[in-house]
Amino acid sequence: MIPKKRKQFFSLLYRGRKIARRYLVTNGFDGTLTMLGMMTGFYVSGTKEFGVAINACLGAAIALFVSGFFSAYLSEKAERKQELRELEQALLVDLEKSHYGEASRYLPFFIASVNGLTPLFFSLLIISPLYLSKYGIEWPCSPFLVAIITALFCVFLLGVYLGKISRQFWLWAGLRTVFIAMALVAIILLFDM
Protein backbone atom coordinates (compact mmCIF):
# COMPACT_ATOMS: atom_id res chain seq x y z
CA MET A 1 0.00 0.00 0.00
CA ILE A 2 1.24 3.50 -0.86
CA PRO A 3 2.01 5.57 2.26
CA LYS A 4 -0.47 8.42 2.66
CA LYS A 5 2.23 11.09 2.62
CA ARG A 6 3.60 9.78 -0.70
CA LYS A 7 0.14 9.54 -2.28
CA GLN A 8 0.38 12.84 -4.12
CA PHE A 9 3.89 12.11 -5.33
CA PHE A 10 2.75 8.80 -6.81
CA SER A 11 -0.37 10.36 -8.30
CA LEU A 12 1.85 12.95 -10.02
CA LEU A 13 4.09 10.14 -11.24
CA TYR A 14 0.96 8.28 -12.37
CA ARG A 15 0.14 11.25 -14.58
CA GLY A 16 3.15 10.28 -16.68
CA ARG A 17 1.55 6.98 -17.63
CA LYS A 18 0.00 8.40 -20.80
CA ILE A 19 3.36 9.69 -21.99
CA ALA A 20 4.99 6.37 -21.05
CA ARG A 21 2.24 4.46 -22.88
CA ARG A 22 2.82 6.53 -25.99
CA TYR A 23 6.56 5.91 -25.80
CA LEU A 24 5.97 2.21 -25.19
CA VAL A 25 4.08 1.86 -28.46
CA THR A 26 6.26 4.22 -30.48
CA ASN A 27 9.60 2.76 -29.47
CA GLY A 28 8.24 -0.78 -29.21
CA PHE A 29 7.17 -0.43 -32.82
CA ASP A 30 10.54 1.11 -33.66
CA GLY A 31 12.49 -1.75 -32.11
CA THR A 32 10.29 -4.47 -33.57
CA LEU A 33 10.37 -3.10 -37.11
CA THR A 34 14.14 -2.56 -36.93
CA MET A 35 14.62 -6.19 -35.96
CA LEU A 36 12.09 -7.33 -38.56
CA GLY A 37 13.99 -5.43 -41.22
CA MET A 38 17.31 -6.91 -40.13
CA MET A 39 15.93 -10.45 -39.93
CA THR A 40 14.35 -10.14 -43.37
CA GLY A 41 17.65 -8.83 -44.71
CA PHE A 42 19.58 -11.74 -43.21
CA TYR A 43 16.98 -14.22 -44.46
CA VAL A 44 16.96 -13.04 -48.07
CA SER A 45 20.75 -12.81 -48.16
CA GLY A 46 20.92 -16.47 -47.12
CA THR A 47 23.20 -15.86 -44.13
CA LYS A 48 24.11 -19.02 -42.22
CA GLU A 49 26.33 -17.30 -39.64
CA PHE A 50 23.99 -16.95 -36.69
CA GLY A 51 26.75 -15.46 -34.53
CA VAL A 52 27.21 -12.54 -36.90
CA ALA A 53 23.45 -11.97 -37.14
CA ILE A 54 23.04 -12.14 -33.34
CA ASN A 55 25.86 -9.64 -32.79
CA ALA A 56 24.51 -7.26 -35.41
CA CYS A 57 20.98 -7.42 -33.98
CA LEU A 58 22.25 -7.14 -30.41
CA GLY A 59 24.26 -4.07 -31.38
CA ALA A 60 21.15 -2.51 -32.89
CA ALA A 61 19.08 -3.46 -29.81
CA ILE A 62 21.58 -1.85 -27.42
CA ALA A 63 21.74 1.23 -29.64
CA LEU A 64 17.93 1.44 -29.57
CA PHE A 65 17.99 1.16 -25.76
CA VAL A 66 20.63 3.86 -25.29
CA SER A 67 19.05 6.16 -27.85
CA GLY A 68 15.53 5.57 -26.48
CA PHE A 69 16.57 6.08 -22.86
CA PHE A 70 18.65 9.20 -23.25
CA SER A 71 16.53 10.94 -25.87
CA ALA A 72 13.43 10.52 -23.70
CA TYR A 73 15.29 11.41 -20.49
CA LEU A 74 16.76 14.63 -21.85
CA SER A 75 13.59 15.79 -23.60
CA GLU A 76 11.30 14.87 -20.69
CA LYS A 77 13.63 16.50 -18.16
CA ALA A 78 13.56 19.73 -20.16
CA GLU A 79 9.76 19.53 -20.46
CA ARG A 80 9.23 18.86 -16.73
CA LYS A 81 11.65 21.63 -15.79
CA GLN A 82 9.78 24.12 -17.94
CA GLU A 83 6.45 22.94 -16.53
CA LEU A 84 7.79 23.34 -12.98
CA ARG A 85 9.14 26.83 -13.68
CA GLU A 86 5.79 27.91 -15.16
CA LEU A 87 3.96 26.61 -12.11
CA GLU A 88 6.48 28.29 -9.81
CA GLN A 89 5.90 31.59 -11.60
CA ALA A 90 2.14 31.19 -11.23
CA LEU A 91 2.38 30.32 -7.53
CA LEU A 92 5.37 32.56 -6.74
CA VAL A 93 6.97 29.81 -4.65
CA ASP A 94 9.93 27.46 -4.95
CA LEU A 95 8.55 24.00 -5.73
CA GLU A 96 11.85 22.07 -5.67
CA LYS A 97 11.09 20.43 -2.31
CA SER A 98 7.40 19.85 -3.02
CA HIS A 99 5.83 16.70 -4.47
CA TYR A 100 5.88 18.54 -7.81
CA GLY A 101 9.63 19.03 -7.62
CA GLU A 102 10.21 15.39 -6.65
CA ALA A 103 7.92 14.09 -9.40
CA SER A 104 9.58 16.30 -12.00
CA ARG A 105 12.91 14.68 -11.06
CA TYR A 106 11.68 11.06 -11.15
CA LEU A 107 9.19 11.26 -14.01
CA PRO A 108 11.83 11.67 -16.79
CA PHE A 109 13.68 8.61 -15.45
CA PHE A 110 10.49 6.53 -15.40
CA ILE A 111 9.49 7.57 -18.93
CA ALA A 112 13.05 7.11 -20.23
CA SER A 113 13.17 3.60 -18.78
CA VAL A 114 9.96 2.67 -20.60
CA ASN A 115 11.25 4.26 -23.80
CA GLY A 116 14.60 2.48 -23.60
CA LEU A 117 13.60 -0.91 -22.26
CA THR A 118 10.64 -1.50 -24.62
CA PRO A 119 12.67 -1.76 -27.87
CA LEU A 120 15.34 -3.75 -26.02
CA PHE A 121 12.75 -6.22 -24.73
CA PHE A 122 11.12 -6.70 -28.14
CA SER A 123 14.51 -6.94 -29.86
CA LEU A 124 15.74 -9.64 -27.47
CA LEU A 125 12.49 -11.54 -27.94
CA ILE A 126 12.91 -11.43 -31.73
CA ILE A 127 16.58 -12.42 -31.57
CA SER A 128 15.83 -15.35 -29.22
CA PRO A 129 15.13 -17.93 -32.01
CA LEU A 130 18.66 -17.29 -33.33
CA TYR A 131 20.11 -17.76 -29.84
CA LEU A 132 18.18 -20.98 -29.33
CA SER A 133 19.32 -22.20 -32.73
CA LYS A 134 22.93 -21.39 -31.87
CA TYR A 135 22.62 -23.54 -28.74
CA GLY A 136 21.26 -26.56 -30.60
CA ILE A 137 17.49 -26.03 -30.77
CA GLU A 138 16.14 -27.31 -34.08
CA TRP A 139 13.43 -25.32 -35.87
CA PRO A 140 11.18 -26.75 -38.62
CA CYS A 141 12.28 -23.82 -40.81
CA SER A 142 15.05 -21.21 -40.90
CA PRO A 143 15.57 -19.49 -37.50
CA PHE A 144 15.42 -16.17 -39.37
CA LEU A 145 11.93 -17.07 -40.54
CA VAL A 146 10.97 -17.93 -36.93
CA ALA A 147 12.39 -14.55 -35.84
CA ILE A 148 10.35 -12.81 -38.59
CA ILE A 149 7.19 -14.58 -37.38
CA THR A 150 8.05 -13.58 -33.78
CA ALA A 151 8.48 -9.96 -34.92
CA LEU A 152 5.13 -10.03 -36.73
CA PHE A 153 3.54 -11.44 -33.58
CA CYS A 154 5.10 -8.62 -31.49
CA VAL A 155 3.78 -6.04 -33.96
CA PHE A 156 0.36 -7.72 -33.74
CA LEU A 157 0.46 -7.48 -29.94
CA LEU A 158 1.34 -3.78 -30.10
CA GLY A 159 -1.58 -3.27 -32.49
CA VAL A 160 -3.93 -5.12 -30.16
CA TYR A 161 -2.72 -2.93 -27.29
CA LEU A 162 -3.38 0.21 -29.36
CA GLY A 163 -6.82 -1.15 -30.21
CA LYS A 164 -7.50 -1.69 -26.52
CA ILE A 165 -6.52 1.92 -25.73
CA SER A 166 -8.65 3.37 -28.54
CA ARG A 167 -11.46 0.84 -27.86
CA GLN A 168 -11.35 -0.53 -31.36
CA PHE A 169 -11.90 -4.14 -32.37
CA TRP A 170 -8.64 -5.80 -31.20
CA LEU A 171 -8.24 -8.12 -34.19
CA TRP A 172 -8.60 -5.32 -36.75
CA ALA A 173 -6.20 -3.10 -34.79
CA GLY A 174 -3.67 -5.94 -34.59
CA LEU A 175 -4.00 -6.86 -38.27
CA ARG A 176 -3.54 -3.23 -39.29
CA THR A 177 -0.10 -3.06 -37.65
CA VAL A 178 0.80 -6.47 -39.10
CA PHE A 179 -0.11 -5.09 -42.52
CA ILE A 180 2.36 -2.23 -42.02
CA ALA A 181 5.05 -4.73 -41.01
CA MET A 182 4.26 -6.87 -44.05
CA ALA A 183 4.63 -3.79 -46.24
CA LEU A 184 8.12 -3.31 -44.75
CA VAL A 185 9.02 -6.94 -45.56
CA ALA A 186 7.66 -6.48 -49.09
CA ILE A 187 9.80 -3.36 -49.65
CA ILE A 188 12.94 -5.19 -48.46
CA LEU A 189 12.13 -8.16 -50.71
CA LEU A 190 11.59 -5.74 -53.58
CA PHE A 191 15.06 -4.26 -53.04
CA ASP A 192 16.53 -7.75 -52.98
CA MET A 193 15.01 -8.54 -56.37
Partner 1 sequence: MATTRKIVLDVLKPHMPNGVDFATALAELSPDYQVRLSVVEVDEKTETVIVVLEGKNIVFDPVIELIKKMGASVHSIDEVEVDGSEME
Residues in contact with partner 1 by CB under 8 A are 4, 7-8, 11-12, 15, 86-87, 90-93, 95, 97-100
- Closest CB to partner 1 among residues 90, 141: 90
Considering the complex, what minimum distance in angstroms separates the CB of residue 86 from partner 1? 7
Q: How far is the CB of 87 from partner 1 (least distance, A)?
A: 6
* Minimum gap (Å) between residue 47 Cβ and partner 1: 53
Which is it for the CA torsion 26, 81, 78, 2, positive or negative? negative
Nearest residue (CB) to partner 1, 49 versus 86: 86
Q: Dmax of the chain from CA atoms?
A: 68
Angle separating helix axes 17-44 and 50-91, nearest 10 degrees: 160
Q: How far is the CB of 4 from partner 1 (least distance, A)?
A: 6
Q: Give DSSP secondary structure letters for 168-185.
A: --HHHHHHHHHHHHHHHH
CB 41 within 8 A of CB 124: no
Smaller CB separation from partner 1, 4 or 167:
4
